[in-house]
Amino acid sequence: MAFFQGVPVTIRGSGMYVPSKVVTNEELSKIVETSDEWIRERTGIRRRHIAEAGELTSALAERAGRAALENAGVSSSEVDMIIVATNSPDTLFPGVAPKVQGLLGAEKSGAFDVQSGCTSGVYSIVLAVNGIASGIWRNVLVIGAEVLSPLVDWTDRNTCVLFGDGAGAMLLGPSNGEGRFLSAELRADGTKHDQITLLGGLIENPASLESIEQKKHFVAMKGNDVFKFVNRVIPPFLKDFCEDSGLSADAIDCWFFHQANQRIIERAAERLGIAPERVFINLDEYGNTSAASVFIALSEYMKLGRLHPGQRLLFTAFGAGMTYGGVIYES
């Protein structure tokens, strides 16, 4: 059963931060053999924000986290747990979340990272909701943050045109009747673990001259295999998830898909019979910001004043692992 039990949990605030530097498709076409037309037609992406050298994931996460706290009117000393969803931590350890806890001065808070491909954000939201629902935490700051640009091979047109850097955050807490998370479903298919990888620098492929020559320290993706996997698996998964939640796809007011590819999102929406205006898309501006994408999308949605009481929002993502999942919120 996919329903949350216990204390109802609401979104108290949201925030985001993206680096100011923008890289357009046109600029990319000067460094790899690609074109604005190819990138727009195949992905929907027009621009992406890219961190400056030394601008770390923890710095982006801190700014997005601060913005969410401000939006919620909650001080950092009231936060019980900070969860950072990321695939591009500053270092393997310490994690990003403890650094953010220190930067925010959230002296009563615990902190940990979640790394589960682009689905990390959705996994983190579900963990946070469960922690609040069970009564062990009250305010949880959930942040999706990525600086993937140093992990991307800027000579590989298969990957470098896709990703962008950025961070988004939600402050979750117990609800006094003003909205609640309804249900969630998290899945994985580890038989497809070779579809999106960053192999170098750890146990299987320790850093060596050879690992560097073989470009094992960069993101590698079998893009078309991922595309087919997602097109095959995600629409029926979402249909079943809605049904198990007692809802038709039609009962969702806004769909927050992981912002990987506009064609993937539009195909899924078509198969589920979702009206295009119910799908939030901002990948044209940010590219694929991996674990951060659903948070950045929600933050923009709220800034646009589009969130109203009684709406149902569905957040869904898919990514390395392969992992995928969804979570439904009623405002």
CB nearer ligand UT7, residue 86 or residue 139? 86
Catalytic site positions: 118, 258, 288
Which of 36, 55 has the CB closer to ligand UT7?
Answer: 36
In the complex, minimum distance from the CB of residue 158 to ligand UT7, in angstroms, rounded to a whole number: 5
Is the C-alpha dihedral spanning 103, 108, 113, 119 positive or negative? Answer: negative
The count of other CB atoms within 10 Å of the CB of residue 292 is 39
Q: How far is the CB of 71 from ligand UT7 (least distance, A)?
A: 26
Which residues, 6+ apart, have CB-to-CB distance to 25 below 8 Å? 34, 35, 36, 39, 40, 45, 46, 47, 161
CB 328 within 8 A of CB 193: no
Six-digit token pair at 176? 């006094």
* 3-class DSSP assignment, residue 297: helix
Cβ 224 to ligand UT7 shortest distance, Å: 4
* Residue 195 C-beta: closest distance to ligand UT7, Å: 8
Residue number of the CB closest to ligand UT7 reads 223
Shortest CB 81 distance to ligand UT7, Å: 26
322: which residues sit within 8 A by CB, 6+ positions away? 117, 188, 189, 190, 192, 193, 195, 196, 226, 229
Q: Which two tokens stand for residue 216?
A: 């094992």
Residue 245 to residue 1: CA distance in whole angstroms: 8
Residue 54 CA to its chain's centroid (Å) = 22
CA nearest neighbour of 86 among 95, 74, 77? 95
Which C-beta is closer to ligand UT7: that of 17 or that of 324? 324
Cβ proximity to ligand UT7, 98 vs 321, nearer residue:
321
Which residues of the shown chain bind ligand UT7 in the complex (CB under 6 A)?
Answer: 34, 38-39, 42-43, 118, 157-158, 161, 196, 223-224, 226-227, 230, 260-261, 264, 288, 290, 318-319
Q: Is 5 exposed, middle or buried (0-12, 13-18, 19+ CB in 10 A)?
A: exposed
Contacts of 116 (CB under 8 A, 6+ apart): 85, 123, 319, 320, 321, 323
Min. distance of Cβ 302 from ligand UT7 in angstroms?
Answer: 23
